[in-house]
Amino acid sequence: MVGMSGPYVVRGSVSLPEAELMWRFSRSSGPGGQHVNTSDSQAELRFDLARTEALPEVWKARALQRLAGRLVDGVVTVRASEHRSQWRNRETAAVRLAALLAEATAPPPKPRRPTRIPRGINERRLREKKQRSETKRGRGRGGSGGDWG
């Protein structure tokens, strides 16, 4: 397994530049037995969202607003420690960051236009409601049988 499988596409033709990704590795608390105590397999990926030139300005503004709670000085951080291998944790962290940025830069959904309920549907609902009411009223206490007497 040589090299990374990047570039990591955010959306369309926009991808994360390898030069702007800051990596840090540490010992993972995840699976691995004794191996865990000797290798730095946890991957921490940092991306300076505030200073990047890779994203269009509109996307960057949108992402900065949506990810405001996750940012520290304009930098977004993603960690991965599920795998025993550092390489797989690097892959996971990079894919996670790309997905996070794709979601944060997505255009806002179109506003919902309220629609009116057609009169026929409303009338049918009221008619069925009245029928049901009549049926239930017909089940009143009679003099015959049952536990109510």
Quick: pLDDT tens for 46-90. Answer: 998 888 888 888 888 888 888 888 888 888 999 998 888 888 998
Please give the helix or strand (H or E) that residue 14 lies within, else none: strand 14-16
Phi-psi region of 97 (alpha: psi -120 to 50; beta: other; left: phi over 0): alpha
Please state, in angstroms and as integers, the Cα–Cα distance from residue 100 to each residue in 1, 110, 112, following that order: 25, 21, 25
Give the mean pLDDT of the chain. Answer: 82
Q: Is the pLDDT of residue 2 over 50?
A: no
pLDDT winner (highest mean) among 18-27, 71-80, 128-137 = 128-137
Check if the beta carbon of residue 52 is closer than 8 Å to that of residue 26: no
pLDDT for residue 1 is more than 60? no
At residue 59, the pLDDT reads 87
Per-residue pLDDT for 149 more than 60?
no
Least confident of 13-17, 100-104, 119-123: 13-17
What pTM, to 2 d.p., does this model score? 0.65
- For the chain, what percent of residues have pLDDT higher than 70? 83
Distance of CA 97 to the CA centre of its chain: 12
Handedness of CA 72, 76, 82, 87 (dihedral sign): negative
Cβ(108)–Cβ(66) under 8 Å? no
E strand map for 51-140: 75-80
Lowest mean per-residue pLDDT among 71-75, 116-120, 124-128, 137-141: 137-141
What is the pLDDT confidence band of residue 3, given thresholds at 50, 70 and 90? very low
* Alpha carbons 128 and 112: distance in angstroms, whole number: 30
